Amino acid sequence: MNRLFLLLAASVLGTGCMDICDARTVSVGWPSFQLADGTVTSSCTQAHVSTVNIYLDGQAVTSLPCDSGGVDVDGVPNDGDHLFTVEAIDTTTGGITFRDQVDVSDSNCRNLLEDTQPSQGTFVLNFSLSPNLCASATDSYIWFTIMDDIANQTIAVDGSDTPQAWPCGGGTSTTPVAPSFPLASGSYTLERTEEVLYSSSTPTELAGNCSAADFDMSGATQTEVDAPLTDGVSCF
C-alpha cells in the first residue's frame, strides 16, 4: 500500500504544476512605512495615511483602509514574473505619499506572503538663474510640473494649482531657495520649470527650462534635480 501511494504521488508530480494550478494567492502586507527622514513607523496615523491602493501589473486590485494591514490577492497567475505596486494615500491631500513595488515569480503552486514597506524620499529642485537672483523678494515664484511615471499622474505647481506655493527666494529674499519636499519612491520626470512674476493674480513668465529630466526616488534618500533657467523661455 505504501508503495502504491508513492507511485501515485510521483505520477501527479510528474504531470507538471501548471496542469493542476495555474494561479495562486499572494498575501500582500504593509506592516510599516519609511518616511523621508528615515523614520520607520507601523502607525497609519503617524504616517498620515488613510488608504492603501494595490495594483497588479499596473491594474487596480483593491483599495483598503490603511489599518487593515494587508490583503489576500487570489488568482495571481503562476506563469512568470508579476509586479505588485502598493501606494499609500495621504490623509489630507489625497495624493500618493508612499510607494513600494515587489516582483513575484513562479511559486510551484505555493501561496506567497509578500510584506512591503512603502517609502518616500526628499525631492530637491535645484533651479538656477542668470544672474542667480530672483526677480522679486515677494512676488517671484517657481512653477514646475512633475510626471509620476508609475501612476501616470501630474504633480503641478502652476497658475491653476498652488501658484504661490514656492516663492523663488523663500518669500523674503532675492536669493534662490530650492523647493524641497517628500515624494513617494518611484520613477518620475521633471517636465518643465519656470520663474514667474505673480502679482495681482497676473503671471509674467520670466525664465524657463522646458527640457524633461528623468529621475528616481528611493526611501529616505535625497534626490536633487538641476534645472538651469534661461531668460525669456516660456514653458506653460
Task: Please give the CATH architecture assigned to the domain spanning 121-231.
Answer: Sandwich (2.60)
Domain ranges of the chain: 21-118, 121-231
Do the domains 21-118 and 121-231 sit in the same CATH topology, yes or no? yes
Question: Residues of the chain with pLDDT > 70: what percent?
Answer: 92
Q: Of 11-20, 175-184, 185-194, where does mean pLDDT reach its minimum? A: 11-20
User: Is 2.60.40.10 the CATH classification of the domain at 21-118?
Assistant: yes
The predicted model scores a pTM of 0.89
- pLDDT (0 to 100) of residue 199: 81
Strands 213-217 vs 180-184: parallel, antiparallel or unpaired = unpaired
pLDDT tens, position by position, 84-131: 999 999 999 999 999 999 999 987 778 999 999 999 999 999 999 999
In this prediction, residue 201 carries a pLDDT of 79
pLDDT surpassing 70 at residue 9: no
Give pLDDT, residue 20.
Answer: 54
pLDDT for res 6: 27
> How much of the chain, in percent, has pLDDT values that exceed 90?
83
pLDDT for 66 beyond 60: yes
With 70 as the cut, is the pLDDT of residue 2 above it?
no
For residue 54, the number of C-alpha atoms closer than 13 Å in the C-beta half-sphere is: 25
Average pLDDT score over the chain: 90
Task: Sheet containing 112-115: give its strands across.
Answer: 70-77, 23-29, 112-115
Q: How far apart are the two ends of the chain, measured CA to CA in Å?
A: 79
* Other beta carbons less than 10 A from residue 47's beta carbon: 24
Count the Cβ atoms, other than its own, within 10 Å of residue 36: 23
pLDDT for residue 33: 98
In tens, the pLDDT along 18-54 reads 445 788 999 999 999 999 999 999 999 999 999 999 9
Contact 141, 178 (CB under 8 A): no
Residue 135 binned pLDDT confidence (cut-offs 50, 70, 90): very high
Beta strands in the chain (DSSP E): 23-29, 33-34, 40-41, 49-56, 59-65, 70-77, 82-90, 96-104, 112-115, 120-128, 140-148, 153-157, 180-184, 186-199, 202-209, 213-217, 222-228, 230-231
